[in-house]
Each structure stands twice: as structure tokens, then as C-alpha cells.
Chain A
Amino acid sequence: MRFQDAARDARAIVYAGIQADSLVARLAALAADATYGQRLMARAVMNGQSTDPATWRVIFPTVFGPAAPDLERAEALLAASLEVAERGEQVRSQFRGAFVEALSQVLVARRTGDAAVRRERRVLFDGVASEIHPYDLTVEKAGREEAWDCKWGARGINADVLNQLDDARRHAADEERSLRVGLIVFDVRTSCAVRLAADGAAAGNRGGDARDARRACRPKGGASMTPPDPASDTPADILRIEQAYRVRFDEATPDGLAKTSALLGYLQDVAWRHSEVLGFPRAWYRERGLAWVVRAIDVTLGVPIRDGDELRVSTRIAGFRRVMARRRSELRAADGAPIGDVTVDWAMTDGRAPTRIPGDFASVPGIDLSPFAPTRVDLPPAPPGAVEQRLVPRLRELDPMGHANNGVYLDWLDEAVAAAGGADDVRAAARRYRMEYLRAAGPGVALRSIAWRDGGGWAWQLVDDAGDVVRGRLDPASSAQP
């Protein structure tokens, strides 16, 4: 388990500006030592319509009356809360969120010391982030690590939030580490209780009810599950298989070249076939609620691939980590001439978070259990001249998991680079793609596809309101032959 700064995407940069606003720190400092009535007043004002302080003094006679304690703080808190209320709706919402985080930081730091408390950090287990978003607050003190999410209101509590926190705790436990997790909500206690109950995630079981309900559709684990069952037509060498594919008409672009996404389709298919050969058919995954998702790809192509070409696509497992496996594939022409090679890093998921790969895989005789360094794509910030396209995944781009299939992102990268002036580079015979899939894009989500020239190649990022979804690069391959 380790902590890491969250990626500084455009949203994070804007939000960081709000977090750094002196108003947020002033509010937090005032609220940290405020009475219950003063905090309630601040919450009402920040969520209210009226911006006349006199109105609020009337509404809160026990906070502003002659016998009220610490009147000076109450007035200062009112003034600061009104400054938030006077912002536009969206900015107000961001300020409120930043305020709760800052207040939490002040209060937690009193217990742990300032140096240990960090903001906007991811927790990584075996190199994989435990959840999509960074945690609002972490305590990074050896042996006493904590991760907190902060919410303005009880409405921010939901089963996913609770499960993600609980998963982080469980992942830490898997590594024999202790991670204290929790939610800090700036709302009325009874509303939080109602929210937890309404969500089926009763306080005290950390969302277990909701999780159990979600998992109820799955058969229980144990001896009744389908054991690994190698396919009946198992080839002699089960550690490496090869299949033939012919580039279909609809898999080619207007210039007759195979879409790069089509190649990824073949790679997915041959990986599935190999899984079956090894004894892990779809039913095996379905019964356990498990699935593989592509975490990263590294594709090097050396020669053009055209509509109607026949390819031979191989796959073998080339390494294991706790929640990840790597496959290597070779693409060859029908006559055996090399066309390209591909590395795909897969992560095992239980549908919500990365999960440990069952030991059944490691028990396959001869399988390559070598550790590997996952493919990462680190990009500089998009420059002002970056070309941006807006897109929304269409139904035909979704796979059975309800996400845009990993090959689709490659098409989006090609389109973005071409739009940014790199059409020739997209069509180049010798080219290399690297993609890191951070999150899945589901139906209806509004995405921005941003490409820009970077060094001798192209950088590309796909972002939504929450940050990076996919990061990618397209570079010239170092030689014509992979």
C-alpha cells in the first residue's frame, strides 16, 4: 500500500484554485471551533437563498442573540458563509465541498499532526489505485494510515462510496496493513442515518448490506462453483495459442486500412479463447462475479494491414501481479511475416474494484508468473493549442460490461490525432500506441477527447468531469519492423 498524488487534470487544477482560496481556509478555521448552532447557521447560509445578514440573525436568535456565546465568531462565520452563498450555484457547490475538506483537515490534523495529513491522494495497492477518485484526505503516518472522503451533505453518502472505502480497507488488510477509512459529512446526524438506512447501507456494517444485496445475484462461492475446466480441443501447447483472423470490410477505414481497434478486437478474442483453453471459460468468471478489464496496452505495428488481409494472432501470459496479468501477442501475416507485437496489461475486477487474481491461475503448469512493471502513460498538461473534441459513447461502442470497449478508445485517439493535424501519423505503417485506461466510460457520459503534438509524437487524453479516463500516446515506431 502506498499513497500517490492524484493526476492534475483540468478539473483538478480548477478545483485546486478553489481549495487554495483564502475564503475556504477562513471558513474552516472559524468552523473548527464553532458551536453546534454556529455550524448549523453556516450550513444553512451556504445553502440558503437570502444574502442579507439581518435575515440570518433573525433566524438564529440563539446564535446571534445577546446571550449567545462567542458572538464575534458567529458574525465572522456568517460573513464568510454569505461570501460563499453569493457565488454562482456551481462555484458555491465547489466552495462548500472545499470547505468541508478544509474543515476536516483542520480537525484531523489536531489529532494526527499537520505533517501527516494530505489532500487529494490516491491509495495504491500493488500499483493499482483502489478507486477511481482520489481520497479527499489521507493520513500518511506509518502504521496509522487513514483515508477519508468528505461530503457536504448526507446525500453524498451512497453504497458505492462506502464500498470503495471498505474495499480500500480490505485491500490494505490483504497486504497485512491497517487502513482506517471513513466519511466526514457536514450535515445533520439524523439525515446521515436516514441516508445510510435508505441506501441499504446501515451504519456499522460499512455498506455491507448494499454490497451483499448487489452480490445476491451471484451464486455463492465454494465447492459448487465450476472448477477450472480446460477446453476439450485443447492444443498441445496451452501456454501459447494462435488464431487466424481476416480483416472484415467493416473493420477498415475509408482508405482501406484496418482500424487499429479491430486489431484489439482480435487480441481480446484470442485472449478469451486462451482463457478457455486454460480452463477458465466465461461461466467460471460469471459464477465468481469476476472479469478482466484492460488496464494498459502497448501496440507496435510495422507494416500496413488492409481490408481482407489474413492475420495470425498469438497470445501468451507473460507475467502476474496481485491483481494484474500481462499478455504478449504477435501479429503475423498469413505467410508468417511479422506485422506487430502487442503487450496488454489486464486487471481483474469484481465489477467495482481491482481484486486479487484467484490462485487457480497460478496453478496452471508452466504459466509465467514473472512480475512486471505495468505500462504507464504520463502526459504533460495539455497546452493551450490542444485540439479538443466532445463525444458521448454510442450504444454500438459499448461492450457487455456496459463500457466503451478498450478498442473504441483507440479509434477515438486516432480521430483526435487526425483532427489535430496528425492524419498521416495515424495512417503510418510503423507506429506505436500506448494507452493507460484509468476508468471506464459508460453510456451517456460527456467526454472530451484532447490531442496535441508532444515531442516527436502525439499525446492524447480522454477526460470527463471527474478527470482523466484514458491517457494515450501515438509515436512513430523506431523501425519498420516491430
Chain B
Amino acid sequence: MIDDLPGNPGPDPGSARPVSVAPGPARAGDLLAIALAAFGLLAELGETVEDEWTYVTKLVEVGRARLRAAVPDAGGRVSPERAAAIDALAAEAGRITDPHRAIDWLSTFPAVAELVLGAGGILAPARPPAGGA
């Protein structure tokens, strides 16, 4: 379950393939889960470069925090264009097979996701009608 995002993004990001969101406005939490999953795959790949293990580990830690910070409200809504962007970004990350390139992507990926989701990327969540006075 990802309802309690951003504290718990759901499954171990490293163990899941990114899952596409359905067309249309999406929940920010769902997109965060996709981004974290894709980021986890990059991390797994990057960690195979033993000489860079320390750097990769720290980069992953900072990157995950950055991704979570980009989604302050998991219940927020995201436009179809931005949802498609995260989906495409995750797919692009999934195409990386070279561990060294993965390390480079660990640096780029959170910044791109932040660009997509930040600066008005997440709309206020739909709220129930206010009670009558």
C-alpha cells in the first residue's frame, strides 16, 4: 500500500519494476512510488561497482530523500503531462544497463523528477466539501 506516502513508499524500491500510471491526473504518491522504484533499480546497478560503493550508497540516500521531498503531499494530484513525464523518466532509467552510467543517472534522476514535480507540478489534493455552517 502506498496510502501512507511519503513516509513509506511501499515495496522496496529496489525490488520492483516501475509501473506505469493510468492516463489522466495521477496521485503524487503513485508517481513517487514509480520514481523510487526506478531509482532503486539504478541503485542496484550502481552498487555493483565496488570501488564506488560508498559514493553510490550516499548518493542513493540523498537521492531518495530528494525524491520524497519533491512530493510533500502524497495525496496531491499531478497533471497528465507530468505523470507521463515521470513514467517516461522511469522507463528511461529502466533502459540503463551499464553500472557506470547508472551511477551518473543516480545523480541526474532525482533532479529531473524534482523538476517535473516541483514548481507547481503537484496540485492541491481534492478535498471533501466543507460542512455547512
Contacts of B115 in A (CB 8 A): 36-37, 40, 60, 62-63
A191 to B88, CA, bound (A): 23
Q: Which of B7-15, B17-25, B100-108, B122-130 contacts A (4 or more CB under 8 A)?
A: B100-108
Residues A61 and B107 in contact, CB atoms below 8 Å apart: no
Q: Separation in Å of the A457 CB from the closest CB of chain B?
A: 43
Whether a CB of chain B sits under 8 angstroms from the CB of A349 is no
Query: Does B52 interact with chain A (Cβ within 8 Å)?
Result: yes
Chain B residues with Cβ under 8 A from A63's Cβ? 115
Choose one: B62, B89, B107, B112; the contact of A153 (CB below 8 Å).
B107
A396 vs B101: C-alpha distance when bound (angstroms)? 37
For the complex, what is the distance from the CA of A191 to the CA of B111, rounded to whole Å? 10
Identify B108's interface contact among A37, A47, A65, A197, CB under 8 A. A47
Q: Is B119 an interface residue (CB 8 A)?
A: yes
Most B Cβ at <10 Å: residue of A58, A61, A89, A199: A61
**Interface size, chain B (Cβ < 8 Å):** 31
Interface residues of A in 140-196 (CB under 8 A from B): 153-155, 187-188, 190-191, 194-195
In the complex, A191 Cα to B121 Cα: how many Å? 23
Q: In the complex, what residues of B have CB within 8 A of residue A198's CB? A: 54-55, 58
CB pair B55–A194 under 8 Å, yes or no, is yes
Q: Mark A34-66, 1 if CB is under 8 A from B, else 0.
A: 001100100110011110000100111111010
Cβ–Cβ contact A44 & B112, under 8 A: yes
Whole-angstrom distance between the alpha carbons of A352 and B28 in the complex? 51
Complex Cα spacing A13 to B55, Å: 33
| CB neighbours of B98 from chain A (8 A) | 89
- If A62-B116, A198-B58 touch, whether A43 touches B108 (CB-CB below 8 Å) is yes
CA distance A195 to B89 in the complex (A): 24
Given A40-B112, A60-B115, the answer on whether A188 and B85 have CB atoms closer than 8 Å is: no
B34-68 residues at the A interface, CB under 8 angstroms: 52, 54-55, 58-59, 62, 66
Q: Is the Cβ of B85 less than 8 Å from the Cβ of A61? A: yes
B96 at the interface (CB under 8 A from A): yes
A61 adjacent to B82 (CB under 8 Å): yes
Question: Does A153 lie within 8 Å of B81, measured CB to CB?
Answer: no
Tell me the smallest distance from the CB of A385 to a CB of chain B, in Å: 37
Contacts of A195 in B (CB 8 A): 55
In the complex, what distance in Å separates the CA atom of A469 from the CA atom of B84?
52
Which chain B residues border A191 with CB–CB below 8 Å?
Answer: 59, 62, 106-107
Contact of A49 among B52, B84, B92, B121 (CB under 8 A): B92
Q: Which residues of B contact A43 (CB under 8 A)?
A: 108
A40 to B107, alpha carbons, bound, how many Å? 11
CA distance in complex: A59, B52 (Å): 28
Please state if A155 and B52 are interface contacts (CB–CB under 8 Å). yes
Measured CA separation A166–B111 after assembly (Å) = 30
Would you call A58 and B84 a contact (CB within 8 A)? yes
Looking across the interface, which residue of chain A has its beta carbon closest to that of B98?
Answer: A89
Contacts of B101 in A (CB 8 A): 47
Cα separation A36 to B108 with both chains bound (whole Å): 12
Q: A37-B115, A191-B107 are in contact. Are A65 and B92 (CB under 8 A)?
A: no
**A127 CB to nearest B CB, Å:** 36
Residues on A with C-beta less than 8 A from B52 are: 155
Contacts of B95 in A (CB 8 A): 49-50
What chain B residues lie within 8 Å of A49 (beta carbons)?
92, 95-96
* A59 & B104 in contact (Cβ 8 Å cutoff): no
Nearest-neighbour CB distance to chain B for A91, whole angstroms, equals: 15
Of A47, A59, A61, A190, the residue contacting B62 (CB under 8 A) is A190
Q: How far is the CA of A37 from the CA of B112 in the complex (A)?
A: 8
Tell me the complex Cα distance, A422–B101, Å.
46
Q: Which listed residue (B58, B110, B112) contacts A59, Cβ 8 A?
A: B112
A40 with B111: CB separation less than 8 A: yes
A65 contacts across to B, CB distance below 8 A: 81
Are B103 and A59 closer than 8 Å at their CB atoms?
no
Contact between A155 and B85, CB atoms less than 8 A apart: no
- CB-based contact A47/B55 at 8 Å: no
- Report the Cα distance A62→B89, complex, angstroms: 14
Closest residue of A by beta carbon distance from B121: A62
Contact between chains at A188 and B108 (CB < 8 Å)? yes
Asked if B55 contacts A58 (CB within 8 A), the reply is no
Cβ-closest 7 pairs across A and B:
A191-B107, A49-B95, A58-B88, A198-B55, A61-B81, A188-B111, A59-B88
In the complex, besides A191-B62, A191-B107, A194-B55, 16 extra interface pairs with C-beta distance below 8 angstroms are A36-B115, A40-B111, A44-B92, A47-B104, A58-B85, A59-B92, A59-B116, A60-B116, A61-B84, A62-B115, A62-B116, A62-B121, A155-B103, A187-B108, A188-B111, A197-B58
Which B positions have Cβ atoms within 8 angstroms of A?
52, 54-55, 58-59, 62, 66, 81-82, 84-85, 88-89, 92, 95-96, 98, 101, 103-108, 110-112, 115-116, 119, 121
A–B complex contacts, Cβ < 8 Å, 12 sampled: A37-B115, A49-B92, A59-B116, A60-B116, A62-B116, A62-B119, A153-B107, A155-B103, A187-B107, A191-B62, A198-B58, A199-B55
